[in-house]
Structure 1
Amino acid sequence: MPELPPTPLKLVLVDDHEMVLHGLDTMLGHFPDDVVIVGQSTTDTTALRMVAEQRPDIVLCDVRIGKASGLDLCRQITLQYPDTKVVLLTVYDDEHYLYQALRVGASGYILKRVDGRELVAQLCRVREGETVVDASLAGRVALAAARLHAGQFWSGAHLGLTQRESEVLGLLVSGHSNRAVAGKLVVSEDTVKTHIRGLYRKLGVSDRSAAIAVALREGLFR
C-alpha cells in the first residue's frame, strides 16, 4: 500500500501587526497541502488560549508582540504544551535574540524576508524535529562556536556582548562607578554610558543591579 502523504501542519500565527498576519495568511494560503492556519492573534494572552484550544503543531510568532515578549510566550508554550513547537519569525537580525530564543525552547529563528515556499519548507523541517535558523545568522553562529571552541571568546560573548561591553560589565560587577570604569578603560564617561546601554539591551535589563545579577547568575565573572 502506498504511503499516505503527511497531513497539513496546524499553525497559529502571532504578530502585533494585522498587516503582517494578513500577509502571512495570504502567502501561506498558496500551500494548502502543507499548512493550515488554525488561529491568528495579535496578543500573547489570546495566543495562549488558541494554543490550548487548537493544539497546533507550530506557533509562528515575533520576538516582540506589542509590549509583550515573544520569547516569554515561547517559554510558556514549550512548558505548558510540549507537543507544540515555537518558531520565531522576526526582523531582528541579531544573534543575541537568537541565543535567547534557543534558550527558551524555540525550534526555529527565521527572518521575515523569507519567501513562502522556503518558510513552508522550514516549518516542515521543524515538524520533523529539526531546529532551523536563518542562513545569514547560522553562519555567524557557526563562526562564534568555532571561536569559542578555540578559546578566542570573552565572558558574555554567548549573550551577544561585545568584548568592550564584557569589560565594562566586569568592572560594574566589581563595584566600579561609571567614572572609575572610564578611568580604567581610558575612555570618556559618555562612551561608558553608551556601552552600558548596549549591554542592558542585550541582557534584557534596565538597571545596573539587574545587569550584575544576570552576570552572576550566568557565572560570567568569578
Structure 2
Amino acid sequence: MTRTTVGRMPVPPKRPLRLVPVDDHEMVLHGLDAMLGHFPDEVQIVGQATTAAAALTLVAEESPDVVLCDVRIGKESGLDLCKQITTQYPDTKVVLLTVYDDEHYLFQGLRVGASGYILKRIDGQELVGHLRRVREGETVVDHALAGRVALSAARLSSGEFWPGAHLGLTQRESEVLELLVSGHSNKGVASKLVVSEDTVKTHIRGLYRKLGVSDRSGAISVALREGLFR
C-alpha cells in the first residue's frame, strides 16, 4: 500500500498593519508617509488626520489596527482622543508618538488605554518593530523612558506606590507636587498634565490640606524634607 504524505497547509502571509497617523503638523504626516513607505509589506497607511474629529471619522470608516497620534494635536488633547478610540473602537489600538520625553504623559497615556508611548526621534525600522509588537498585543515604551518606568515599578513593589502616598496624597496630587518642586507655575502644571488650571488649583488645595501647609513654599519644604522626589 502506498503511503500518502500530507503536508502542512501553507500559512497565508499576514496582511500589512493598517495604520492611521494623527498629527496637526503636515510635515510630520509627510515624514511618516515617506518613512513607512519603505515597509509596504509591514504597514499600510489607510488615512491621515490633523484633528481629533477627523481621526474618529477615519477610525469609524477604516477600522485600522493602530492609530498613531501625538499627546497634543494643536489645541486638542491626544490623550482624550486615545480614550475615545479605545472606548468606542476596542479593536483599534493607539500608540502615542510624541516629542514629550515625560513620564507624566506616559503614565497618563497608559491610564487611558494607549498600547505604546514612542518618541519622535525613532527611525523607521524601530517604529515598524514597535507597531508589530503592538499588533501582537504587547505594550511598548520608548527605551529612553524605560529607566523611569523601572523606578516606578520598584516603588510599587516596595509598597510606596507613589511619592507622598504615605502622607495621604493621591497619585495626581503627588504629580502636581513634583511639578511644583520643579518650579512650574499653575499654568505650567496644567500644560504638563493636560488639565485645566482650575483642576490644578483643586489638587493644590488638597495637597496643602494633607501636608498641613498654607502655601507653595511650605509644600515644597515638606517634599524636600521627606525626600519625596530625587
Counterpart of 1:67 in structure 2: which amino acid? K
Aligned residue in 1 for 2:163: 153
Q: Out of 210, 215, 218, which is 2:199 matched to?
A: 210
Q: Secondary structure, in 3 states, of the residue corresponding to 2:29?
A: helix
CA distance in 2, matches of 1:17, 1:199: 24
Q: Distance in 2 between matches of 1:101 and 1:164?
A: 19
Unmatched 5+ residue regions in structure 2?
1-8, 212-230
User: Pairwise mapping of residues 185-204 of structure 1 onto structure 2 (< 5 A)?
Assistant: 194=184, 196-204=186-194
Q: Quote how far apart the aligned CAs of 1:158 are.
A: 4.9
The equivalent residue for 1:112 is 120
Instruction: Tell me if the contact between 1:60 and 1:89 (Cα under 8 Å) persists in the aligned partners.
Output: yes
SS at match of 2:117: strand
Give secondary structure in 2 for the equivalent of 1:31.
Answer: coil
Provide closer, same or farther for how the CA distance between residues 23 and 202 of structure 1 changes in structure 2, counting only shifts above 3 A.
Answer: closer
**Equivalent position SS for 2:15:** coil
Contact 1:99 1:158 in 2 (8 A): no
In structure 2, C-alpha distance between the alignment counterparts of 1:157 and 1:23, rounded to whole Å: 40
Identical-residue share of aligned pairs (%): 63
Q: How far apart, CA to CA, are the structure 1 residues paired with 2:205 and 2:14?
A: 47
One-letter amino acid matched to 1:56: P
TM-score, normalised to structure 2's length?
Answer: 0.75
The one-letter code matched in structure 2 to 1:79 is T
CA deviation profile, 1:16-61 (whole Å, cap 9, x unmatched): 0111100000000000000000001111111111111000000001
Partner of 2:56: 48
| Contact in 2 for aligned 1:14/1:59 (Cα 8 Å) | yes
Structure 1 residues 75 and 163: alpha-carbon distance in aligned structure 2, compared to 1, 3 A threshold: closer
How many residues in Structure 1 have an aligned counterpart in Structure 2? 196
Letter in 1 for 2:175: L
Say if 2:11 is the partner of 1:8.
no
CA distance in 2, matches of 1:214, 1:53: 40
SS of match in other structure, 1:6: coil
**1:101-129 Cα distance to aligned partner (Å, 9 max, x none):** 01110111000011001100100100000
1:2, CA displacement in angstroms? 2.7
Higher CA-based Rg: 2
| Structure 1 gap segments, 5+ residues each | 168-190
Aligned to 2:68: 60
